[in-house]
Structure 1
Amino acid sequence: MLLDVVAYAAARLVLVAVLTGVIYAAGSLVVDQFPLVVALLFAIVVALPLGIWAFAPLRRRATASIAAFDERRRTEREQLRARLRGDDSTSG
């Protein structure tokens, strides 16, 4: 699960970095001293919807692995509660 989430987050961060570079380069061609902060802010705004669309397979894989992890945790919690109640009918 952790690998899928980290891969998705890293892909989103790389997208922001690339867009920042592109916007900064384009802005520097137009304006003499284009602020890097402005390029970064524009990149974040553009990367939000673009990343959702471009990295849909990574997002779906990360979401599926989180759901599987949550289901395992929920099952283990229910088994623990059953053991604490003294129910021996659950055999994992």
Structure 2
Amino acid sequence: MVRDVLAYLVARLLLAAALAAVVYVVGHLLSPDFPITVAVLFAIVLAFPLGIVVFAPLRHRATASIAAYDERRRTDRAQLQARLRGDEPTER
């Protein structure tokens, strides 16, 4: 799970960094005193929807691994509560 989530996170961060570099270079060509903060903020705004579309397979894989982890945690918790009540443990 952690690997899938980290892969998605790193991909989104790299997209934002690449967009910031492109916006800064284009802005610097138009005006030599173009502020980098404007480039970073503009890149973040662009990276939100673009990352959702471009990295859909990574997002789906991360979401599926989180759901699988959550289901295992729920099952383990239910088994623990059953043992604490004195019920027979269920097989996986």
User: What range is the shorter-chain TM-score in?
Assistant: over 0.9
Paired positions, count: 92
Work out the CA distance in 1 between the residues paired with 2:49 and 2:67: 23
Question: Structure 1-normalised TM-score?
Answer: 0.97
Question: Structure 2-normalised TM-score?
Answer: 0.97
Q: Which residue of 2 aligns with 1:15?
A: 15
Q: Which residue of 1 aligns with 2:26?
A: 26
Q: Could you tell me whether the CA contact under 8 Å between 2:19 and 2:43 is conserved in 1?
A: yes
2:86 aligned with 1:86, yes or no?
yes
Residues 34-45 of structure 1 correspond to what in structure 2 (within 5 A)?
34-45=34-45
1:36-81 CA distance string (max 9 Å, x none): 0000000000000000000000000000000000000000000000
Instruction: Note the C-alpha offset of 1:32.
Output: 1.4
Q: Could you tell me whether the CA contact under 8 Å between 2:5 and 2:62 is conserved in 1?
A: yes
Work out the CA distance in 2 between the residues paired with 1:3 and 1:26: 34
Instruction: Note the C-alpha offset of 1:90.
Output: 1.8
Following TM superposition, the consecutive aligned residue runs of length 4 or more in structure 1 with deviations greater than 2 angstroms are none
The unaligned stretches of length 5 or more in structure 2 are none
What value does the CA root-mean-square deviation take over the aligned residues? 0.8
Work out the CA distance in 2 between the residues paired with 1:91 and 1:64: 24
Work out the CA distance in 1 between the residues paired with 2:33 and 2:89: 72
The unaligned stretches of length 5 or more in structure 1 are none
Identity %: 63
Work out the CA distance in 2 between the residues paired with 1:54 and 1:42: 18
Q: Which residue of 1 aligns with 2:2?
A: 2
1:7-52 CA distance string (max 9 Å, x none): 0000000000000000000000001111000000000000000000
